[in-house]
Amino acid sequence: MNFKSYPDREFLMMGLADRIASQLRETIQTQGHATFSVPGGTTPGPIFDILSGVDLDWGSVAVLLNDERWVPESSERSNTRLIRERLLTGRAAKATLVPLYAEAPRPEDKMAELAEGIAPHLPISVLLLGMGADMHTASLFPGADRLAEALSDDAPILLPMRAEAAGEPRITLSAPVLRDAMHTHILITGAEKRKAIEAAETLPVEQAPVRAVLKDATVHWAE
Ligand SMILES: O=C1O[C@H](COP(=O)(O)O)[C@@H](O)[C@H](O)[C@H]1O
């Protein structure tokens, strides 16, 4: 992995937002459109705030989530809600949101429909990932029920995922879809996650699922 350390979180968010914006711009220039895939959780809010105000042809950008918790948008736990409130506002409101949730009791009920919506937007141009201290990324959790399937080279685009640490059922992009991204950034903060990502380099991928995307990723870290 390529590891980049920043003096503080503000430098990190500004620096990484700038890098992502340049990569999206370059992709739009060469391909006419770009796909930006993003994490949920507690870490990326500030980078979304910065990106939402960036001058970019957002109308040519499709925004996709790496994973979603199977809860409606009215829930505080909804990753879709986070990106609607923090990323898809201001200038970035012109981007197209590719859904990763639809009203249904279980993710299995909507898997085919959601995967069909995502397929035309692949491969991902710029992938921003988060990571939990347990070394999960997207919703590829250690010990999850369908982890082996999601890690395999012939995995489908999307999988439902259940794990004790995950709380509610999840839906996640599979490892091959994440690995196919043109540019991959992992955003982490704090000493615990730094230790975790360093440990992930030497652990089997089943114990440290973030390892599935580590080889070609740049890890961006600040205390
Ligand atoms: O549950 C999730 O967790 C990870 C990490 O979140 P954080 O709160 O530790 O930043 C996140 O990347 C993922 O998208 C999310 O669904």
130 lines ligand 1 (CB under 6 A): yes
Q: How far apart are CA 210 and CA 77, in angstroms?
A: 22
Residue 1 neighbours by CB distance under 10 Å? 18
39 lines ligand 1 (CB under 6 A): yes
Could you tell me if residue 144 is left (phi over 0), alpha (psi between -120 and 50 degrees) or otherwise beta?
A: beta
- The model carries a pTM of 0.98
Instruction: Pick the atom of ligand 1 nearest to 131's CA.
Output: 5
66 lines ligand 1 (CB under 6 A): yes
- Residue by residue, DSSP assigns 97-129 as EE-S--SSSSGGGGHHHHHHHHGGGPSPSEEEE
**Could you tell me the CATH number of the domain that includes residue 152?**
3.40.50.1360
As for how many domains the chain has, the answer is: 1
- In 3D space, the residue among 70, 145, 75 whose CA is nearest the CA of residue 100 turns out to be 70
Q: How far apart are CA 135 and CA 208, in angstroms?
A: 5
Structure tokens at 141: 């959790």
79 lines ligand 1 (CB under 6 A): yes
Instruction: Pick the atom of ligand 1 nearest to 130's CA.
Output: 12
Distance 112 CA to ligand 1 centre (A): 24
Q: Are 28 and 34 in contact (CB under 8 A)?
A: yes
Range of the structural domain that residue 202 is part of:
2-222
Structure tokens at 95: 């981007």
- In 3D space, the residue among 222, 220, 186 whose CA is nearest the CA of residue 38 turns out to be 186
67 lines ligand 1 (CB under 6 A): yes
- Which residue reads 């973030």 in tokens? 210
Q: 46-76 pLDDT, tens per residue?
A: 999 999 999 999 999 999 999 999 999 999 9
Q: 115-144 pLDDT, tens per residue?
A: 999 999 999 999 999 999 999 999 999 999
The answer to whether the complex's ipTM is over 0.95 is yes
